Amino acid sequence: MIVVWIIIILAAAVIEAMGPSFVSICFSIAGIFALIATFLGFGLPVQLVVFVIVLALVMYYLIPVMRRLAKMNVEKDQQYVKTNLDLIIGQKAAVLEDISYLHDGAVKVDGKEWTAKTQDKEKVFKKGEIVTIKAIKGSKVEVE
């Protein structure tokens, strides 16, 4: 039975390494405890009970903590990761096609043409005017 527990431990660890879901690692941890039960001389029924109980406890307590930690790391990384697109926010752009609240237009900024929109219901930006890039919304820039 030692070989079976080692296979379960290693297979679950490999699966977890391929895509962290925090479920496979629970199987590895439970397998380690079942392997310990094997080394202590307990029979298969006790090993299975140990495996199931440890698996349930680890899944109940560890998965929420690990997911919360992973989410915090993702949020922290997203806070500080800037892309090249962020560089155009705040830059001036030339209006190529009229822009109004009801009609998307076009602007040229940093040598690239963008579809542009505005949230200003009163203002119409005419071709040739200079606007400021306020934000990037999907594939469009918002201007003011």
At 80 the pLDDT is: 47
Same domain, 64 and 31: yes
Q: What is the DSSP string of the chain?
A: -HHHHHHHHHHHHHHHHHS--SSHHHHHHHHHHHHHHHHTT--HHHHHHHHHHHHHHHHHHHHHHHHHHHHHHHHHHHHH---GGGGGTT-EEEEEE-B-SSS-EEEEETTEEEEEE---SS--BPTT-EEEEEEEETTEEEE-
**Domain limits for position 21:** 2-80
Query: Of 54, 80, 106, which closes a domain?
Result: 80
Query: Of 38, 58, 80, which closes a domain?
Result: 80
Same domain, 27 and 64: yes
More confident residue, 144 or 76: 144
Query: Of 60, 80, 100, which closes a domain?
Result: 80
Least confident of 67-71, 74-78, 108-112, 128-132: 74-78
**Which whole-number Å values give the CA distances from 121 to 12, 117, 125, 128, 136, in the listed order?**
57, 11, 11, 20, 18
At 84 the pLDDT is: 64
| Domain count of the fold of the chain | 2
pLDDT digits (tens, 9 = 90+) for 31-54: 999 999 999 999 999 999 999 999
Global pTM? Answer: 0.49
